[in-house]
Amino acid sequence: MAALAVAVPVSAIAARAFTARDLAMLDRVADPRLSPDGAWVAYQLRETDYAANKGITGIWLVAVPAAAADAASGATLVSAERRLSAPGVASWMPRWRRDSKALYFLSTRSGTSQVWRLDLAGGDAQPVTHAPLDIASFMLSPDGRHLVVAMDVFLDCDTPECSKRRLDERAARQDTGQLYERLFMRHWDAWSNGTRSQLFIYALDAQGDAAGAPAWLTRGIDADVPSKPFGDDSEFAFTPDGRALIFSARVAGSGEPWSTNFDLFEVNLDASATARNLTSDNPAWDTGPALSPDGKTLAYRATKRPGFESDRFAIMLEDLASGRKRELLPNWDRSADSLQWSVDGRTLYTTADDVGQKRLFAVDVAHATIAPLTDQGTVGAYDVGRGGIVAAVESLAGPAQLYWIGRAGGAPRPLTHHNEDKLAGVGFGAYEQFAFQGWNNDTVHGYVVKPVGYQSGRKYPVAFIIHGGPESAFGNEFHYRWNPQTYAGAGFAVVTIDFHGTPGYGQAFTDAIRGHWGDRPLEDLQKGWKYALGHFDFLDGTRACALGASYGGFMVNWIAGNWQKPESGAWKCLVSHDGVLDARMMYYGTEELWFEEWENQGTAFAQPRHYERFNPIDHVADWRLPMLVIHSARDFRIPLEQGVGAFTALQRRAIPSEFLYFPDESHWVQKPQNSVQWHQTVEAWLKKWTAGP
């Protein structure tokens, strides 16, 4: 196994602490793509325009040095990153032409999101499409003769132009009412306008430009393809012969908000027939199609339990000639993420959460064996080529960089060096993973982070951070919303616990939270806090605050009435961001009902007692700890009224409290200046209540 540890910058011993402004200004590396000839990596880089209060994504390029062809050589990789796209204009999603001489990408430089092409030999980027609507994602066919694009259209319109006219007519009207006939009238952070994301295909001419009108590939599919709000081109794929497209879609009609039944469909590129369902036998989630290089085998990911979004994603293989399906690694107790084939078709690559890390794995298809290629850190996007793999990797020690993982093994080595100037002279807190016995005597893991400038023998106030999800993790990653290093930079030690419900520790561990939001995870938090206090003498348990968002906000609201006095005496303060106050009203106010129905083992009207079992609102009479409440107007996952209600309860009970409101944010606070305000408000609240010698 090749170990991969994201190095702490040389400046980590410097005096200046890492701040929220530092976090907001960091460049963010993502979406690496190896050229077919293996010589180059194109990738996205998000830079921050703080004055404009936004991030701007551009396309960058870095060479893969010849020494990378033999990763065991020990040679140092020397390369220089360079920008390809115009500065100040959003450009993203770089995709190579098959001859490695040009890049296709999305850009808004024409005023709408369109596909553009840039020849690496020189010259300006040229528009490929002139669609009447924004293009959200795209894919080039293997032979380079076709281009599939995703656009939001009305299903009863024949052409994208019809949808554009209807949207323009609606915008010109003076009345603003919108009549809905079914749910998903709002989702994540936006209200529905009646359109669906659908796939269209253009023919490309000899210059590589879109020629003529596009054909509608997903006509008749009442679903968003790719899915919303975060679906992308990983949900569809060309067959290697360029004859057909396979895509994932949830066709659920009025039951869409409580369904996780995604199926894989195959459609011919001439759009001459309705798409054929390939996975109708599975009522749960099928997604991530990846075709073997010879076109004979379809690999994809599938869950087994309908309605459970955090069920284990198994790796499935389907023989396309016979239709026979089999699970590749039935005994591997991890949930597979994205899939890619090796060029020779012998290996499948995937990422998965694994004991506080997110590792890259190689699967020998013939022998059904799996081996990790990385050790420490979190692997985000990656791409597989002839000579090796490029992957974006981050850790608690620093933001993502691109690393080269050679086919001959050996230690992965960095290709990019972004943010070195921004982090010069900045220190990070040292961190350590620990384990203890939690609920049911299961082994539970957590992390502790020392404050910047740590001095042996001193005790420090503590930020006890509770992750959301709840089926997510606070692992070895560099988070842009809940980053322990910002607290370490503010003088706090940090403790996080991956309680029952967290992925990466086996599916039974994840499943254990169902119906037990307030007891099993709380027991893990209590035992983890006790363990940390007993083993890390720099933690000052008398000056500690608990804080969290989403499920973490729920748990903070639950703690307010059920765990005011931890081992150290009492929490000094609490921070609840986007937290659930009333579990029953949460069911009726949220959008993705499958989540609530799975976690609470039924609907709120059929099983009200399940929603009341761990309902924070029933314990408001016991609240007494100072609390900062944070919520945003465009949060439709946990609606604003949940935060307003918590603040109302605190104020009416005369408990010291503050309410931070963002009218322009969703479940996440993403605008740079809002992010800095968020961090500064939280840090001020913690310092106010933990002040002491």
DSSP symbols for 327-382 = ES-TT--S----EEE-TTSSEEEEEEEETTEEEEEEEETTTTEEEES--SSEEEEE
Q: Which amino acid, residue 649?
A: A
**Cis status, amide bond into 470, omega within 30 of 0:** yes
The candidate with the shortest Cα–Cα distance to 558, out of 513, 508, 605, is: 513
Q: Annotated catalytic, 119? A: no
DSSP symbols for 544-566 = EEEEEETHHHHHHHHHHHH-SS-
Task: List phi, psi (to 5°) of 645.
Answer: -65, -40
Catalytic annotation, pick one of 187, 479, 631, 667: 667
What tokens does 544 get?
């500690």
Are 465 and 485 in contact by the 8 Å Cβ rule? The answer is: no
Q: Annotated catalytic, 667? A: yes
Mention every residue, 6+ apart, whose C-beta is less than 8 A from residue 419.
Answer: 26, 27, 398, 399
What tokens does 577 get?
């961001």
Look-up of token digits 């992965």: 412
Residues in a beta bridge with 107: 91, 114
- What is the rounded CA–CA span in Å between residue 369 and residue 366? 8
Q: In residues, how long is the chain? A: 693
Strands (E), 593-682: 627-632, 657-662
- What is the rounded CA–CA span in Å between residue 512 and residue 550? 19
- What is the rounded CA–CA span in Å between residue 660 and residue 460? 26
- What is the rounded CA–CA span in Å between residue 470 and residue 478? 19
Catalytic annotation, pick one of 113, 248, 395, 550: 550
Q: Which contacts of 413-418 are long-range, i.e. CB under 8 A and separated by 24 or more positions?
A: 413/68, 413/71, 413/76, 413/77, 414/77, 415/41, 415/62, 415/64, 415/77, 415/79, 415/390, 416/29, 416/43, 416/62, 416/79, 416/81, 417/81, 418/27, 418/29, 418/45, 418/81
What tokens does 184 get?
């998903």
How far is CA 70 from each of CA 63, 77, 387, 548, 581, rounded to the nearest angstrom? Answer: 15, 11, 8, 45, 56
Catalytic annotation, pick one of 635, 657, 666, 675: 635
Q: In what order do the strands lie in the sheet with 325-327?
A: 286-291, 297-302, 314-319, 325-327
Helices 520-535, 551-562: crossing angle, 10 deg rounding:
80
Are 264 and 286 in contact by the 8 Å Cβ rule? The answer is: yes
* Alpha-helical regions (H) of 8-56: 20-25
Q: Annotated catalytic, 364? A: no
Residues in a beta bridge with 215: 201
- What is the rounded CA–CA span in Å between residue 444 and residue 57? 38
Active site residues: 550, 635, 667
